[in-house]
Chain A
Amino acid sequence: GAGVSQSPSNKVTEKGKDVELRCDPISGHTALYWYRQSLGQGLEFLIYFQGNSAPDKSGLPSDRFSAERTGGSVSTLTIQRTQQEDSAVYLCASSLALRGDNYGYTFGSGTRLTVV
């Protein structure tokens, strides 16, 4: 696609439920990042994928968070047993390289997760 696509755009879930957030990066972009942005805050790094290399998971806040990237393209971020503090906008970005490209990192519109 022309841009980074994220779905759903909004998700309301009950505390304790599992959620899956999807990111479809720009075709050909080998680098894919997940970030979390809480209300009025900056972006918090969660995880990145680069090609077939092992992902850098060091930003994941707890073992309830996991992510995978299938076939070097689509990525899914899974949050198990959601808690209210997980409520945030989850942003996905892709790029030609881990250090960005001439267009920086291209971000999706995000998934706004609300845990009630």
Chain B
Amino acid sequence: AQKVTQAQTEISVVEKEDVTLDCVYETRDTTYYLFWYKQPPSGELVFLIRRNSFDEQNEISGRYSWNFQKSTSSFNFTITASQVVDSAVYFCALTDSNYQLIWGAGTKLIIKP
């Protein structure tokens, strides 16, 4: 069965610090897709990244970077030089052969000025 675990319920850092959000997943499939979404206080879900299981290259997009490691079934998300606007709940999600996009419980990130 699929499972996504985000062990960090809440993280609080001071602005400009780097912060890493952990995501560990479980699936029996060799083909699957992983996602990160941001949910700011306004409530909308903002897509950040989609990564397929055959692409283990790390990705960087501005201050955001993702580290995908199949050996540890992890897809961690790092924000460099955090800003107050990064404050949100961040979700990691997985879809495999049953197509039910399964979500982690989310990590609430608080960036203090």
Interface of B: prevailing SS: strand
Cα separation A93 to B103 with both chains bound (whole Å) = 14
Pick from B43-51, B63-71, B76-84 the stretch touching chain A.
B43-51
B contact residues around A58 at 8 Å (CB):
100
A48 at the interface (CB under 8 A from B): yes
Q: Nearest residue in A to B96 (C-beta to C-beta)?
A: A99
B88: min CB distance to chain A, Å = 14
Pick from A22-30, A67-75, A102-110 the stretch touching chain B.
A102-110
Q: Nearest residue in A to B52 (C-beta to C-beta)?
A: A99
User: What 1/0 flags go to A75-116 for Cβ under 8 Å of B?
Assistant: 000000000000001010100001111111111011000000
What is A's interface to B at a CB cutoff of 8 Å?
33, 35, 41-43, 45, 48, 50, 56, 58-59, 89, 91, 93, 98-107, 109-110
